[in-house]
Structure 1
Amino acid sequence: MNVASTNNVVGLHTNRVFESISAYLMKVERRSEHTRYNYEVAIRRFFMWHAKKSIEDLEVKDLDILNERMIRYQAHLLDDYDYGHNYVNALVAPIVKLYEHLSRNRYNVKAEDVRLDKLSDDGESYGKLTVKEAETMAKLAMKQKKGQEKATLIRVAYTTSFRKSSLLHIKWSDIYLDANSQNYIVKIIGKGNKKHSRPLSPDLYNEMLKIKEQTYYKKYNDNYVFHLSDNTILAMMKNLRAEMNISEDRNIVFHSFRNVAANYIKETGGDIEEIRSQLGHSNYSSLRHYMSDDEDYANMAGIRMLEYIDDNILEKLNKEELLQIINQQSESIKIILQREAKKIISKKENK
């Protein structure tokens, strides 16, 4: 694509590129302030990579781009940052929309030159982490620089299932104490400008407060909880994978934390509606991988509820046999049993 010089474009000046981008973002803001913010971030990020300039300094010549350059940008986001398909699609779409806007406003550009084939939905492409693995990562992250902040980010990530972009935009003012449950509630505006809220245990909230005690943290006064860059999080995950000997073929990335709770719900018998609510999806199309394709007829409800089992059958087993059954269960089931055991032990100790 060849961009005409300023002499060949009516009324076009080198400083008008930023004015045109600003006008486009104003239009987006009428639909949603949150969308406008995401679009601006995507546009700034692209031109900093493509032209090594902020959008305030762009010239008409900086708009010149071949489609193969966009292919390289897509690969950069996928390979250098471990971003998932959906997030990469979300970062590329605003660039296409911007070039459509520029084309309508007498710039000699074409949206086709920046348009890419949409990457497939990658709901299944992130490697799975168990609850224990996620917690181990949080503990190991404590040893890294900014350890308290990194460890807390991981714990908030896998308990709330918020996306990384939402986690990094949590403000202290977004968190409040729920008097009924005595848990803390964090509210965010997520994908599609939708509001989501998740509970934080008092212990986890206290871990968050410890971030404020860190010496380096005193320089921040923007009300945001986390101040970790994409590169910092990328390096953190790389170090954690190495320390835990996690092979590359497992494809464990930061986004893997988002699905920990959903997998826990599935393994402990929760239904698809609970999973949908946890992940904040508005529909079920992205939840296919939480539904089994294999029909296990022997374990369907119509068979299970008619099967007679002696109510006292567990009493016929000795300690070793009971432990054998427990140890054969999934990690999520064992966590439930351990939690119940803890309650019984606490009651005994408090007598």
Structure 2
Amino acid sequence: MNALSKVELNQKVTHFNMKLTELIENYSNEVGINSERTKIAYRDDVAQFFKYFNCNNESTTDVVYIIFTRNNIVKYRSYLLEEKKLSASTINRKMCALKEFIKYLSSYGYDIDINIINQLSKLKTTNNSYEALSLEEAYALINWIKDNENRKALDKYYYCLLALDTGVRAEALNKLTKASFIIKEDEVIVKGVDKGKKAYTKVISREFYDNMHNDLKFDQLNLTDNIFNFSGKNRTDMLNRAKKSLGWENRNITFHSFKKGAVTYAYECTKDIRVAMNVGSHSNMETTQRYIADNEEAFKGAVSNNFATGVKDVDFNNFEKDQLIEVLKSLPEAIQLQVKTELNKIK
């Protein structure tokens, strides 16, 4: 094993002798480098764990060896579940923060076995997640926001449209600058960093970009100025006002519903879960499957449809224009948009 350099040794010594609160702050700064929301959540989750075991602002990093045991982690998880009555998904998130903290400690030389938490099974969660929005519903919300919000209505309008069009998370949208957009002849590339420091590349139409550029006065912005800056409260309040006006107060719609709608739309268009997975920037397919599960109908293949409907014998020329239009209007929105796109090419 190679000897440590003086710099590396000093870093380790410093970590071993600092206050626990400072160590947690350093950890949260690193894990939340791309998201203030993540930084605060992970910092608070780890701090709450140590507070449960009576640590305070004067505690030093020595306590990590005493407190980080499998029994203590199981005890804390039981406390969150049985006494605090937290949901399984919230507890799993808190366990994830502790796991990342242990990995962080290990990287600085703390002799802590990561398996004390790795071997804990996740709590089973119930599916009570936010709804995906159809295109019609999404546009109803977004247009209400544009027409009725008192402050920064146009900014909020394009903020929501970008979420629906690209599937990019709210916090990542807040990091967009003029430099994030690479303008091509007939499309615009959008590049940025999303959750978990994951780089993404999206494509939007040139027409969409030009409208946003003009309405939000991009010419008055510096290249590195953030285009959007909406907090979680801003987003929640904005959507609550829209839902109340539209009579949707009982529906579980959040800003993330736009992202879920984008993923669902991609799947409806292609029936390719990998395309939907890419739109959602998901690292595993299970997440994408959860996104589309509530909206996916059983899909019959070409052979089944042939037998069921005699589709081979159907000739468009045998139908009246009004009949064809009626059928087109009854198709899923994703299919309608594909048809409109093709029609637009032959104008």
Q: Same fold (TM over 0.5)?
A: yes
Whether 1:120 aligns to 2:125 is yes
Give the drift of 1:24.
3.8
Q: What are the within-5 Å matches in structure 2 for residues 171-186 of structure 1? A: 171-179=177-185, 182-186=186-190
2:97 corresponding residue in structure 1: 94
Structure 1: any 5+ residue segments left out of the alignment?
1-10, 51-57, 79-83, 106-110
**Paired position in structure 2 for 1:253:** 254
> 1:19 and 1:293 mapped to 2: Cα distance?
48
Aligned to 1:164: 170
Aligned-pair distance for 1:188?
2.0
Aligned-residue Cα RMSD (Å) equals 4.7
Alignment map for 1:197-212 (pairs within 5 Å): 197-210=201-214, 212=216
- The alpha carbon displacement at 1:47 in A equals 8.8
Indicate the SS of the match to 1:184.
strand
Number of aligned positions between the proteins: 301
Could you say which residue in structure 1 is the equivalent of 2:286?
285
Unaligned runs of 5+ in 2: 1-13, 50-55, 68-74, 111-115
Query: Does the 8 Å CA contact 1:42/1:95 hold for their aligned counterparts?
Result: no
Is the Cα–Cα contact under 8 Å of residues 89 and 119 in structure 1 kept in the other structure? no
Q: Give 2:57's aligned amino acid.
A: E
Once residues 280 and 37 of structure 2 are traced to their aligned partners in structure 1, the CA distance between those partners, rounded to angstroms, is: 20
Counterpart of 2:40 in structure 1: which amino acid? V
In 2, Cα distance between equivalents of 1:130 and 1:92: 34
Offset of 1:170 from its aligned partner?
Answer: 2.3
Whole-Å separation in 2 of the counterparts to 1:229 and 1:49: 24
Distance in structure 2 (CA, Å) of the matches to 1:322 and 1:135: 25
Counterpart Cα distance in 1 of 2:198 and 2:337: 32
Is the Cα–Cα contact under 8 Å of residues 187 and 206 in structure 2 kept in the other structure?
A: yes
Map 1:12-31; keep pairs closer than 5 Å.
16-24=19-27
Contact 1:169 1:224 in 2 (8 A): yes
Change (3 A) 1:21 1:15: same
8 Å CA contact 1:153–1:167 kept in 2: the answer is: yes
- TM-score w.r.t. the length of structure 1 is 0.66
Given that residues 152 and 207 in structure 1 are in contact (C-alpha distance below 8 angstroms), is that contact kept between their aligned partners in structure 2? no
Offset at 1:287?
3.1
Q: Is the 8 A contact 1:161 1:258 kept in 2?
A: yes
Query: In the alignment, what sits opposite 2:159?
Result: 153
CA–CA distance in structure 2, aligned partners of residues 49 and 165 of structure 1:
24
The offset of 1:158, in angstroms, is 0.6
Query: Which amino acid letter does the alignment assign opposite residue 39 of structure 2?
Result: E
Secondary structure of 2:312's match? Answer: coil
Identity of aligned residues (%): 19
CA distance in 2, matches of 1:245, 1:324: 28
State the TM-score, normalizing by the size of structure 2: 0.66
Conserved? CA contact 1:141–1:151, under 8 Å:
yes
- Aligned match of 1:60: 58
Task: Report the alpha carbon displacement of residue 231 of structure 1 after superposing the two structures with TM.
Answer: 0.6
Q: What SS does structure 1 have at the residue aligned with 2:200?
A: strand
Deviation sequence 1:227-253 (CA, Å, 0-9, x none): 1111111101111111211142x3111
Q: Deviations over 1:158-190 (max 9, x none)?
A: 1111122222222332221135xx211111222
Q: CA deviation at 1:134?
A: 1.2
SS at match of 2:274: helix
Q: Measured at CA, do residues 102 and 331 of structure 1 come closer, stay the same or move farther in structure 2, by a change above 3 Å?
A: closer
Q: How far 1:85 sits from its partner (Å)?
A: 4.5
- CA 1:210–1:286 in structure 2 vs 1: closer, same or farther (change >3 Å)? same
Q: Which residue of the partner structure matches residue 229 of structure 1?
A: 231
Distance of 1:74 and 1:178 partners within structure 2: 52
Q: Counterparts of 1:120 and 1:265 in 2: how far apart (Å)?
A: 26
The structural deviation recorded for 1:330 is 1.9
Closer, same or farther: CA 15–294 of 1 in aligned 2, 3 Å? closer
Q: Does the aligned pair in 1 maintain the 2:280–2:288 contact within 8 Å?
A: no
Tell me, yes or no, if the aligned pair for 2:143 and 2:157 is still in contact at 8 Å: yes
